[in-house]
Structures are given as structure tokens and as C-alpha cells.
Amino acid sequence: MNLGRNLVKVDEIPLIRRLANQVHDPRRQDFRPPDRDSSVTREDFVARWRARRDELARLGAQVEGAKLCDEVLADFEAVMTFEDEALLSLLEAAAYSGYSADHLRRMHRLGKLPARRDGRRLFFRRGDLRRKPNIVDFQPIRAYDPVADARRVATRTSHGGSNG
């Protein structure tokens, strides 16, 4: 029986309390979601949570899963908001969405797609752009079926067709 594994050093207790206070509970009065103005990239998100995981593992800390999930989801929403708010030039928006630059310009002119104008240049929010579907009415090429072909030929000749 290894009791030493679960023991915490006395000098680590303030650190454990600090970590416990960092985990947010949305039911608490002082809970605040991350600022919308804060720029959180995917790399920042991954680096932060890997560091938190390593710190918690080093301390052998046990946390409430629901509180931890709430904090991870709040950070993930900040990442998504940051990515949606990114401004793309007309050519970048065309590459991202799959639509041509002329089509995006036309959509903006018709009022169907919001954009910000800086002089003559248009900038689109990434979150406002829809992606163009890649495949429209795709029908797979079927392999040659001699029996079906013979039926088609027989049907044509039986209905008075001469050349098939």
C-alpha cells in the first residue's frame, strides 16, 4: 500500500488552492466568461490546457469534472469567437469560402453578405462566410453491365427501332 503517492507537500497547498479557484463555476456570482475582445488562438488554447493538465498531474490534484468542462468550453467558445471575428480580404474570403471574388462582391452589393469597406477594398468576417458545397448532383459512373445493355437493345428493337 503506497500512501506517499497521495500526500501533498505543505508548500504546494497554496498552489492547489489557487488552481481550485481558477476552475470556474457558472452558478457562482463572480463567474465571468472570457472577454470577447481577448484574442485566443487555437495554439494558445492547446498550450494553456496542456500546461494545466501537466500541472494537475504533477500535483496529483483531483478536480470536479463539471467545473473543469465548463472552463474548457468557455475557452473553446473564446477561440471560436476569435476565429469568427477574423477579417479576410476579398481574395482570402474567396479562397476560404470556395466562391469567386466576383460572386462575393455581387452578394455584398445585393445586401446578402455584410462586409466592411476600407477605401475600395472589401473585408469579410470569417463567421459570415458560407462554404460552397463541393459536389452538386454527383452520379457515380457505373461499370458496364452487358445484361442491362442487352435488355436495352432488345427493348429498342422490339419497339420498332432499327439501328438501336
Residue 117 DSSP symbol: E
Higher pLDDT, 16 or 109: 109
| Measured distance CA(68)–CA(76) in Å, rounded | 12
pLDDT of residue 34: 44
Span 15-33, pLDDT tens digits: 555 555 554 444 444 444 4
Predicted pLDDT of residue 102: 94
Percent of the chain with pLDDT over 70: 68
- Residue 146, number of CB atoms within 10 A of its CB: 7
Cα separation, 92 vs 104, whole angstroms: 11
* Overall pTM surpassing 0.85 (yes/no): no
Interval 76-105 mean pLDDT: 89
What pLDDT score does 28 carry? Answer: 43
Q: What pLDDT does residue 15 have?
A: 52
pLDDT digit string, tens, across residues 3-17: 444 444 445 555 555
The residues near 39 (Cβ < 8 Å, ≥ 6 apart) are: 82
Task: Identify the pLDDT of residue 91.
Answer: 93
